[in-house]
């Protein structure tokens, strides 16, 4: 089987698994106890935090571990907008007798306004819209036909009460890179925060929050060869969030519960790997993508239509319009794993992204999303091309 669906999930890298192994049954204690073994676990946890911080270019105390990208997006968005009123934070503190809870209080009591790009992940859209109602207005920002949200468009939609703009770094379907820094500069001039879901960018290109200038950034381990159930959110120093889950304060007061030590260690190891191989990975993706597109052109006898091709993109991701139905191709090419739109109504992520750049339903049904990984080889590319071409042949000559 040839797996070309790395944007959905990746296998764990061998070195990441190796890094995690001691923490299952040997170093299984939790930090925060006096014993030397527990303290050693705590030190390993902080080293993992440093590795993640190094990958995103921030200080370790700006990294909060979560159970994944979805929780990271929810914590960044709901934690900022749904800040607990002072009375509630006080109630929790009294109940636990603790003074440690970090909790922002919503400033002002008027309605607030939130902008979310229409290209965002389900968890970003759903987190934002979960708050919409009496206190919060949520509005979608359209993207251009090239798959990029125009910063001028964001600026034109800002209102005096806008509090937050959510803009991803790389689109998982089209691969387009968003102009997050320009949007952040526009927003910061108006006192607006920016949340950036960067989950599709890590392991594919260097990410540096001091360049991005977003206030919060989401990380998901299983998108770059780290463990499922691992993630983090970068929270700019000085930005106050409220936890979305409650308990004994851990993770700078933003996430309670026993630390998932193996997952945090694994995320740190994956971050270390990603930091080391960024430039070579990106070059390799570029070469393999060209090989894939050229091979497809030769085999099909016509140019495949690569969507959003004129735009800066993560080099591993190709949304390609095929000459026939993508679902039928997938059925015919059983040993090849790639992504297609699964559901038009309700629209899935692929359908939403393709609709956003103006593709018709027929075009969407013909589109495949191919995403390469670190382990993708030239041989796999060649075989994938051949499987795809054969599948197209068999579908079109039926």
Residues 268 and 230: their CA atoms lie apart, in Å, by 10
Number of helices (H), then strands (E), belonging to the chain: the values are: 15, 13
User: Which segment (25-33, 210-218, 269-277, 388-396) binds a copy of itself by CB under 8 A?
Assistant: 25-33
User: Which segment (32-40, 209-217, 282-290, 384-392) binds a copy of itself by CB under 8 A?
Assistant: 32-40
**In the beta sheet, which residues pair with residue 113?**
137, 162
User: Which segment (21-29, 107-115, 201-209, 276-284) binds a copy of itself by CB under 8 A?
Assistant: 21-29
Candidates 29, 157, 305, 396; binder of a copy of itself (CB under 8 A) is: 29
DSSP string, 29-71: PPSSSSSHHHHHHHHHHHHHHHHHHHHHTS-GGGEEEESSHHH
Near a copy of itself in 243-282, by CB under 8 A: 244-248, 256-263
User: Which segment (56-64, 223-231, 297-305, 382-390) binds a copy of itself by CB under 8 A?
Assistant: 223-231
User: Which segment (67-75, 104-112, 181-189, 307-315) binds a copy of itself by CB under 8 A?
Assistant: 67-75
3-state secondary structure of 391: helix
Q: What is the DSSP letter of 116?
A: E
159 φ/ψ angles, rounded to the nearest 5 degrees: -120, 165
**Residue 344 in tokens:** 């038009």
Does 213 participate in binding a copy of itself (rule CB under 8 A)? no
Q: Least distance in Å: CB of 256 to a copy of itself?
A: 5
Q: Which of 25, 210 has the CB closer to a copy of itself?
A: 25
Candidates 2, 83, 125, 209; binder of a copy of itself (CB under 8 A) is: 125
Q: If we measure between CA atoms, which residue out of 276, 270, 253, 203 comes closest to residue 92?
A: 253
Near a copy of itself in 75-94, by CB under 8 A: 78, 84-85, 87-88, 91-92, 94
Candidates 182, 337, 382, 390; binder of a copy of itself (CB under 8 A) is: 337
Backbone CA torsion sign across 202, 205, 206, 212: negative
Near a copy of itself in 172-201, by CB under 8 A: none
Q: Which of 1, 238 has the CB closer to a copy of itself?
A: 1
Candidates 119, 138, 173, 395; binder of a copy of itself (CB under 8 A) is: 138
DSSP string, 200-242: TTTTTS---HHHH--SEEEEEGGGTTS-TT-EEEEE-TT----
Q: Least distance in Å: CB of 59 to a copy of itself?
A: 25
Q: Which of 47, 309 has the CB closer to a copy of itself?
A: 47
> Could you identify the residue written with the tokens 């050693």?
40
3-state secondary structure of 312: coil
């Amino acid at each position: 089987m040839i797996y070309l669906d790395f944007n959905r999930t990746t296998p764990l890298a061998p070195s990441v698994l190796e890094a995690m192994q001691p923490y299952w049954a040997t170093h299984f204690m939790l930090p925060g106890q006096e014993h030397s073994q527990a303290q050693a676990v705590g030190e390993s946890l902080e080293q993992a935090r440093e590795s993640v911080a190094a990958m995103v270019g921030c200080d370790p105390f700006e990294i909060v571990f979560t159970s994944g990208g979805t929780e990271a997006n929810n914590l960044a968005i709901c934690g900022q907008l749904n800040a607990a009123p002072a009375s509630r934070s006080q109630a929790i503190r009294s109940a636990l007798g603790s003074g440690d809870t970090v909790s922002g209080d919503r400033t002002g009591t008027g309605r607030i306004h939130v902008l979310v790009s229409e290209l965002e992940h389900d968890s970003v859209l759903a987190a934002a819209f979960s708050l919409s109602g009496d206190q919060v207005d949520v509005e979608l920002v359209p993207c251009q036909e090239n798959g990029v949200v125009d910063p001028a468009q964001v600026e034109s939609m800002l209102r005096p009460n806008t509090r937050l703009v959510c803009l991803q770094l790389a689109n998982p379907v089209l691969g387009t890179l968003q102009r997050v820094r320009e949007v952040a500069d526009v927003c910061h001039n108006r006192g607006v925060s920016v949340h950036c879901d960067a989950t599709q960018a890590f392991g594919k290109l260097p990410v540096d929050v001091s360049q991005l200038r977003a206030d919060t950034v989401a990380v998901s381990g299983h998108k770059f060869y780290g463990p499922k159930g691992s993630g983090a959110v970068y929270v700019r120093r000085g930005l106050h969030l409220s936890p979305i889950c409650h308990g004994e304060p851990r993770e700078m007061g933003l996430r309670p519960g026993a630390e998932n030590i193996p997952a945090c260690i694994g995320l740190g190891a994956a971050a270390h790997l990603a930091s080391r191989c960024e430039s070579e990975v990106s070059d390799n993706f570029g070469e393999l993508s060209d090989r894939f597109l050229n091979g497809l052109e030769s085999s099909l006898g016509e140019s495949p239509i690569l969507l959003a091709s004129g735009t800066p993109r993560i080099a591993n991701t190709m949304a390609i319009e095929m000459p026939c139905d993508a679902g039928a191709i997938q059925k015919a090419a059983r040993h090849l794993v790639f992504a297609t739109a699964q559901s038009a109504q309700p629209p899935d992520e692929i359908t939403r992204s393709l609709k956003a750049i103006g593709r018709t339903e027929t075009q969407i049904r013909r589109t495949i999303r191919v995403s390469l990984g670190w382990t993708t080889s030239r041989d796999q590319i060649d075989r994938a091309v051949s499987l795809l071409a054969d599948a197209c042949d068999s579908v079109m000559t039926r």
